Homo-oligomer: A and B are copies of this chain.
Amino acid sequence: MTHAPAPAITAADKTFYTLRTDIVEGRIAASSKLSEAELSTKYGVSRAVIREAISRLVSCHIVERKANIGARVVALTPEGLIELYQVRESLEGMAARLAAQNMTPAQIAELNTLLEQHAASVKDSQLYYQEAGDVDFHYRIIIGSHNSQLITLLTEGIYHLVRMYRVQLGMAGPRVTTAFAEHQHIAQAIANRDAELAEMLMRRHITYSRQNIEHKLHSPSTKLSLHNINKESL
C-alpha cells in the first residue's frame, strides 16, 4: 500500500504528465489558450491524445474547457489561492487526524527520520527545506491517513495547483525554521496518537502558511504580484 504514482503507459498518459508539468512550471502561461492542433504538432501526437490529456487536466482543475470554444489554463488569482488553502486546511487537517489513528509504527518512524534529516539541512542551507522538504512531510501524512479518497484528492488534485501557485510566485522565502518547528509538533501528536491535536496543529500550520503567502501577495516588494501574471493572457 505504498500508493505508487502510476507510471505513464499510454501516449495520453505521457502527454498528460508532460503538459501538466509544463503548465505548473510556467512554461505554458496561466490563462493561456490551449489549441489542440498546436499542441498536437508540438508534442507529436494525434489530436485525440491531446484531447484526452486536456480532459484529465480539466479534472485536476488546472484547465477549464468550454464546449465548442476551447480550453484555457486556469487564471491565478488571489481569491483562487485563498480558496485552495481553505480546502487544504480542511482536508489536510482530516488527513493528520486520520494519520494519528492509522499510520503504522513503521510509517511514524519514517516520518521522524525525515524530520531528523530536515533538522540537519535546516542548519546548513535553509533553502533546501522549503522546496522539497515541506512537500515530503505533508505527503507522508496524507498517505498515512490511509483514506484513498483523501489521498487522491490531495496528491493528484490540490497539490499540483498549489505547486503551480508556488512556482509562479517564486516562493522560497523565510518561514523555514518556524515551519519546521510546527512540523515537529505535528509529528509528535501523531506519534502520541492524539488525533484531535494533530488535526488542530495541522490546520493552524496551514493557516499560518496561507497568511504568510497572503502577506507576500499584498506587499509590493514581491517580484511577481498576481496582477502582473495575468498580462500574458491572450
Which A residues contact B (CB, under 8 angstroms)?
9-10, 13, 48, 51-52, 55-56, 58-59, 61, 67-68, 80, 83-84, 86-87, 89-91, 93-94, 98, 147-150, 152-153, 157-158
- Count this chain's copies in the assembly: 2
Q: Which of B13, B68, B90 contacts A90 (CB 8 A)?
A: B90
- Is B150 a contact of A153 with CB atoms below 8 Å? no
Enumerate chain B residues within 8 angstroms of A89, measured Cβ to Cβ.
94
Enumerate chain B residues within 8 angstroms of A10, measured Cβ to Cβ.
67-68
Q: Please report the C-alpha to C-alpha distance between residue A52 and residue B158 in the assembled complex, in whole angstroms.
A: 23
- Is B150 a contact of A83 with CB atoms below 8 Å? yes
- Is B152 a contact of A61 with CB atoms below 8 Å? yes
- Is B153 a contact of A67 with CB atoms below 8 Å? no
Enumerate chain B residues within 8 angstroms of A152, measured Cβ to Cβ.
61
Enumerate chain B residues within 8 angstroms of A98, measured Cβ to Cβ.
86
Q: Which 7 A-B pairs have the closest CB atoms?
A: A59-B59, A90-B94, A9-B67, A83-B149, A83-B147, A90-B90, A87-B149
Q: A86-B94, A89-B94 are in contact. List 7 more A-B contacts (CB 8 A).
A: A9-B67, A9-B68, A55-B59, A59-B59, A80-B148, A83-B150, A87-B150
Enumerate chain B residues within 8 angstroms of A84, measured Cβ to Cβ.
149
A-B contact pairs, 8 of them (CB 8 A): A9-B67, A55-B55, A80-B149, A83-B147, A87-B91, A87-B149, A87-B150, A90-B91
Q: Please report the C-alpha to C-alpha distance between residue A87 and residue B158 in the assembled complex, in whole angstroms.
A: 14
Q: How far is the CB of A151 from chain B (nearest CB, A)?
A: 9
